[in-house]
Amino acid sequence: MKTGPPSHRVTANPGETRLIAAEFARHLRAGTVLSLIGDLGAGKTEFVKGLATGLGTNDEVTSPTFTLVHEYQGGRLALFHMDFYRLNEEGELDELGFEDYLAAGGVCAIEWGDKFPKRLPQDTVSIRFTIHDQDRRTIVW
């Protein structure tokens, strides 16, 4: 995916975050890696819910905080939703099979992807989430 100059959107609620992500997903290609960066509650999982919708997956999307990876098949592209929050060492990515997911030809959406930046492909798209108040967020990619 070519991202061009940075783009940003301000959302007023989780539904708007999902709609922005669904539109964003329509332009994704096989092998795209997204690094989702932001504080707890910033909207990263809501964004992935929108990605799943935009890719045509009807599965319920939940946070992979404790399972580390959720796979969503059946859409235009497979979606691999990862969460690095609970990982402490880079070597845990090998145990997770991280390289296999990168090579699988789907879209990898990684919450807390900035935790191990050297392991991400060079063309990874960084998406930053900033909390302004209870519901309003800025999303920048």
Confidence of residue 64 (pLDDT cuts 50, 70, 90): confident
Rounded CA-CA distance 80/11 in Å is 24
User: pLDDT digit string (tens) for 1-51?
Assistant: 555 556 989 999 999 999 999 999 999 999 999 999 999 999 999 999 999
Confidence of residue 58 (pLDDT cuts 50, 70, 90): confident
Edge-to-edge strand ranges of the sheet holding 69-72: 8-11, 137-140, 125-131, 33-37, 107-111, 79-83, 69-72
Task: Single out the residue of 22, 13, 73 nearest to residue 47, CA to CA.
Answer: 22
Token pair recorded at residue 57:
């997956």
Confidence of residue 63 (pLDDT cuts 50, 70, 90): confident
Percent above pLDDT 90 for the chain:
87
Which fold is adopted by the domain 8-140?
Rossmann fold (3.40.50)
